[in-house]
Amino acid sequence: MLILRRKAENLGYLYRHDSVTYSLTITRSAATNYLFVIILMSTELYLDANATSPVLPAAIDAAVAAMQACFGNPSSSHASGLRAKALLDATRGQARRVLGAASGRVLFTSGATEGIQTAVLSALCAVAERRRRGEPCGDLLVVGATEHKAVPESLAHWNRLLGAGLELRMLPVDADGRHRLEVLRELAPRAAFVCTMAANNETGVVSDLDGIARVLAETSSPALWMVDCVQALGKLPLALDRTRIDYAPFSGHKLYAPKGVGLLYVREGAPYTPLMYGGGQEAGQRSGTENMAGIAALGAVLGALEQGGTFRNHAQLLAYRDRLAATLLDAFPGLVFNAPLEHALPTTLNFSVPGISSKELLDLFDAAGVRVSAGSACSAAKAAPSYVLDAMGVPVARSASAVRLSFGPLVDDAFIDAACAQLLHCGRALAAAQPAAALQQLESHGASGWLLFDTDGRHCIAIDPPAAHAPRIAADLRARGARLLACFDTSHGAGGADALCELLDMTPGWPGGAQQVLLADGSALDAIALGQDVLAKAGDAFLLGRPDQGVLAADAVRFAFGALAPQASFGATLCCHRIGEPALSRPGAASLPDDGIDLDAAAAEAFLRAHPDALLVDVRELAEHAAAAAQVGGRAAHNVPLSQLAGQAAQWLRGAPPALVFVCRSGNRSARAARTLRRLGHAQAWHLAGGLALAG
Ligand code: PLP
């Protein structure tokens, strides 16, 4: 057990043991005896605050109170309604003070996306009106290249819907992620509406709002100006009254309020068109009965901001970020930050670890209970490269490994201590020497390549290596001191053999001068020796097996790659395909349907209890397993990464395979493993649906 630090002056300690953080608090009882209280802290370290934040306990209390004691409709004239109205007014007053907006409109919305729609609609209606009156209004919609998608998407939508016919122009950013003011200077005289964010959600880069305001003023731009302030609240000083900003949307759930509540500031005199008409709530500016629970919760957060003492100040947050940054550099040699720290929010770090994809890093962090993301939460499921990093000119290889770590101003020393300890743990798990698998599958965009190693991992053959993996394979082979004996694509131009060979300075293709091996029928095939095995070339197929006295019998062929001739008979052989899901097939076995492979956590535990011989298999990668081994119902899992399943499946299927229950983080990889085994003819294959994430 490791004592990380003393939490308080004298009576609080923080311990870590086996990836779990324990807080030990010692309190003195009335009878002067010491009472020891151990609190088990969460193993989860939430570092994705730019996506959303947990809800402040005081905000939960305020929401509950608003639903219980103060449940009235603020539009009702009786006492219940008046109490709700008083809460609404008080919260608006707090918002005005926190935003520095004594004048202008401050409206409650459902969140920033609604605030953005309202601002866009207001600006476009104003442009139409100015045009009608023959006033100068500009013909460009200028939008920062790194804005949240809610901004360009709603600009395009309303421009189309209203038939405004304005031209959408991206305002580029420089390598630091800051708007290029010289380009704005060119566009500003023609700009009808300019949209720039206060701070970027992916990189934390803080915009030069004073610089933008100066350009708009110096060019006498007719533009209205919206600043998306979502990531600024609670992290940057705000004094909206003193700015030229016309519209500023905010979102509650980015700062410890619940989802579904937000604010929109509209400068006094700026054009305004309601998005929603109806009962005339919010003085007719936004109809619909107010979300009083959300507003009350937001009020609690605004109150905490106003009073101070709850949230850390800028200097404290900077110190925390610097500690996290230093720890990351320590934990992951070669790590680079994708945005200059001096221009970023004190709560956001965007970094890349060369050669390790975002997905691999996120899986590793998640295994260790560290919740981070690859970019914005909205695009997390799309797995597309970040348009924000693209706009900054970050090379694709680096943005493909980008990770965003963000925290909120509620963090404290103990949390940062635990986060640093866990980041170091992740770094160690990744760095731990990983043995070469005999057969490793490499996937990219639905295609598979294969790496074959001899038993001591010193010699390798690459078949259809995906080009995207080439740098990583080359680095890995160099690090292992392994020699690539051959590297080829099974059909011309299908894989990335050329790319890998170029990196390793060798010639792609089946090597000349290969030795020969005999088949049982006496025919001879060209072959490459790989330890005690050979890879033999049979037409367009490549057979991996162990010859006996120079003869490769059909049942000694374990794997086949490329196109196996239909008449060939290799009953026990697993065919490893370049395209297809699963990438494995077994010519001699009936493929079984893959329905009914899902077990929920309770069913998986019951199954494992009832079948002591069943094997629980963790198909996460080695580093993820090293970060935190998987267990289901107290049973420890055996680790076979999905990328190494082929080799293990071949072994299982050669004997009497045990019943198999696969697990992974989310249930995706485990479902693929179970499906693969079913299609290879093994009926006893299931997986934990929803993964370890849902099994708790
Ligand atoms: N703008 C920025 C910068 C954001 O980060 C987000 C949320 O991710 C939004 C707008 C959308 O906010 P909401 O979820 O409140 O609609």
Cα dihedral across residues 545, 548, 551, 554: positive or negative: negative
Q: What is the pLDDT of residues 231-280, one digit of tens each?
A: 999 999 999 999 999 999 999 999 999 999 999 999 999 999 999 999 99
The mean pLDDT of 221-234, rounded to a whole number, is 98
- What is the CA 252 to chain-centroid distance, rounded? 21
Q: Please state which of the ranges 13-27, 143-157, 166-180 shows the lowest mean pLDDT.
A: 13-27
> Of 374 and 63, which is predicted with more confidence?
63
Q: How far apart are CA 658 and CA 461, in angstroms?
A: 31
Q: How far apart are CA 585 and CA 589, in angstroms?
A: 8
Show the tokens assigned to 556. 């000694």
Q: What is the pLDDT of residue 67?
A: 97
Q: How far apart are CA 675 and CA 667, in angstroms?
A: 12
Question: Within 10 Å of residue 390's Cβ, how many Cβ atoms?
Answer: 15
Domains and CATH numbers, the chain: 2-42 (no CATH), 314-432 (3.90.1150.10), 439-585 (3.60.15.10), 598-695 (3.40.250.10)
Q: What is the DSSP string of 42-91?
A: PS-EE-BTTT--PPPHHHHHHHHHHHTTT-S-TT--SHHHHHHHHHHHHH
Q: How far apart are CA 295 and CA 313, in angstroms?
A: 24
Q: On the CB side of 552, how many CA atoms lie within 13 Å of its CA?
A: 29
pLDDT above 80 (res 569): no
Protein residue with least CA distance to atom 13, ligand 1:
112
Q: What is the pLDDT of residues 662-678, one digit of tens each?
A: 999 999 999 999 999 99
Q: What is the DSSP string of 448-467?
A: EEEEEE-TTS-EEEEES--G
CB burial readout 347-372, b (16+ within 10 A) else e: bbbbbbbebbbbebbbbbbbbbbbbb
Contact 122, 270 (CB under 8 A): yes
Question: What is the band of 1 on the pLDDT scale with cuts at 50, 70, 90?
Answer: very low
Integer Rg of the chain from CA: 30
Q: What is the pLDDT of residue 137?
A: 94
What distance in angstroms lies between residue 251's CA and the mean position of ligand 1's atoms?
7
Q: What is the pLDDT of residue 495?
A: 74
Sheet containing 224-228: give its strands across. 105-109, 262-266, 247-251, 224-228, 191-197, 140-144, 167-171
What distance in angstroms lies between residue 363's CA and the mean position of ligand 1's atoms?
24
Q: How far apart are CA 608 and CA 495, in angstroms?
A: 41
**Which of 627, 618, 640 lies closest to 695, judged by CA?**
618
Do you know the residue count of the chain? 696
Protein residue with least CA distance to atom 7, ligand 1:
51
Q: Which residue has the tokens 């200077």?
A: 185
Contact 179, 207 (CB under 8 A): yes
> Which atom of ligand 1 is the closest one to the Cα of 253?
15
**CB within 6 Å of ligand 1 — which residues?**
111-113, 148, 150, 197, 201, 228, 230-231, 251, 262, 376-377
> Which atom of ligand 1 is the closest one to the Cα of 115?
16
Continuous H helices in 615-661? 622-627, 645-654
Show the tokens assigned to 488. 């080829």
Q: Please state which of the ranges 47-56, 207-216, 296-305, 433-442 shows the lowest mean pLDDT.
A: 433-442
Q: What is the pLDDT of residues 480-529, one digit of tens each?
A: 899 999 999 998 767 789 999 999 999 999 988 779 999 988 999 999 99
Q: What is the pLDDT of residue 122?
A: 98
What distance in angstroms lies between residue 235's CA and the mean position of ligand 1's atoms?
15
Q: What is the pLDDT of residue 641?
A: 96
pLDDT above 90 (res 377): no
Q: Please state which of the ranges 19-28, 300-309, 614-623, 649-658 shows the lowest mean pLDDT.
A: 19-28
What integer best gives the mean pLDDT of the chain? 91
The mean pLDDT of 443-451, rounded to a whole number, is 92
pLDDT above 70 (res 349): yes
Contact 603, 633 (CB under 8 A): no
Query: In a 3-state reduction of DSSP, which class is residue 592?
Result: coil
Q: Which of 202, 206, 254 to mutate to test the pocket of ligand 1 (most atoms within 8 A of CB)?
A: 254
Q: Which of 116, 251, 253, 378 to mutate to test the pocket of ligand 1 (most atoms within 8 A of CB)?
A: 251
132: left (phi over 0), alpha (psi -120 to 50) or beta: alpha
Protein residue with least CA distance to atom 5, ligand 1:
201
Q: Which phi and psi angles does 353 have, rounded to 5°?
A: -110, 110
Question: Within 10 Å of residue 36's Cβ, how many Cβ atoms?
Answer: 8
Q: What is the pLDDT of residues 571-613, one digit of tens each?
A: 678 999 998 888 999 887 888 998 999 999 999 999 999 999 9
Residue partners of 142: CB distance under 8 A and separation at least 6: 169, 171, 184, 187, 188, 191, 193, 194, 195, 223
Helix (H) or strand (E) holding 17: strand 12-17
Q: Which of 50, 107, 113 to mutate to test the pocket of ligand 1 (most atoms within 8 A of CB)?
A: 113
**Which of 148, 91, 159, 82 lies closest to 116, judged by CA?**
148
> Of 20 and 645, which is predicted with more confidence?
645
Question: What is the band of 34 on the pLDDT scale with cuts at 50, 70, 90?
Answer: very low
**Which of 282, 306, 280, 283 lies closest to 292, judged by CA?**
282
Q: Which of 50, 197, 201 to mutate to test the pocket of ligand 1 (most atoms within 8 A of CB)?
A: 201
Q: Which residue has the tokens 């023959």?
A: 134
Biggest CA-to-CA distance, the chain: 99
Q: What is the DSSP string of 172-188?
A: -B-TTS-B-HHHHHHHG
pLDDT above 50 (res 7): no
Q: What is the pLDDT of residues 635-655, one digit of tens each?
A: 999 999 999 999 999 999 988
278: left (phi over 0), alpha (psi -120 to 50) or beta: left
Q: What is the pLDDT of residue 263?
A: 98
Q: How far apart are CA 696 and CA 694, in angstroms?
A: 5
Q: What is the pLDDT of residue 380?
A: 54
Q: Annotated active-site positions, please?
A: 378
What distance in angstroms lies between residue 631's CA and the mean position of ligand 1's atoms?
36
Q: What is the pLDDT of residues 546-557, one digit of tens each?
A: 999 989 998 899
What distance in angstroms lies between residue 112's CA and the mean position of ligand 1's atoms?
5
Show the tokens assigned to 154. 């709603």
The mean pLDDT of 608-623, rounded to a whole number, is 95
134: left (phi over 0), alpha (psi -120 to 50) or beta: left
Q: What is the pLDDT of residues 358-371, one digit of tens each?
A: 999 999 999 999 99
What distance in angstroms lies between residue 142's CA and the mean position of ligand 1's atoms?
19
The mean pLDDT of 178-186, rounded to a whole number, is 98
pLDDT above 90 (res 565): no
Show the tokens assigned to 607. 């199954």
What distance in angstroms lies between residue 389's CA and the mean position of ligand 1's atoms?
18
Q: How far apart are CA 144 and CA 155, in angstroms?
A: 12
Question: Within 10 Å of residue 445's Cβ, how many Cβ atoms?
Answer: 7
Protein residue with least CA distance to atom 16, ligand 1:
113
Q: What is the pLDDT of residue 563?
A: 83
Q: Which residue has the tokens 């990531």?
A: 231
What is residue 398's DSSP assignment?
Answer: H
> Which atom of ligand 1 is the closest one to the Cα of 199?
3
Question: Within 10 Å of residue 428's Cβ, how many Cβ atoms?
Answer: 13
Q: What is the pLDDT of residue 433?
A: 65
What distance in angstroms lies between residue 113's CA and the mean position of ligand 1's atoms?
6
Q: What is the pLDDT of residues 120-132, one digit of tens each?
A: 999 999 999 999 9
**Which of 48, 45, 44 lies closest to 348, judged by CA?**
48
451: left (phi over 0), alpha (psi -120 to 50) or beta: beta
547: left (phi over 0), alpha (psi -120 to 50) or beta: beta
> Which atom of ligand 1 is the closest one to the Cα of 113?
16
What is residue 519's DSSP assignment?
Answer: E
Question: What is the band of 681 on the pLDDT scale with cuts at 50, 70, 90?
Answer: very high
> Which atom of ligand 1 is the closest one to the Cα of 378?
8
pLDDT above 80 (res 375): no
pLDDT above 60 (res 24): no
How many helices and strands (H and E) does the chain possess? 19, 35
> Which atom of ligand 1 is the closest one to the Cα of 50?
5
161: left (phi over 0), alpha (psi -120 to 50) or beta: alpha
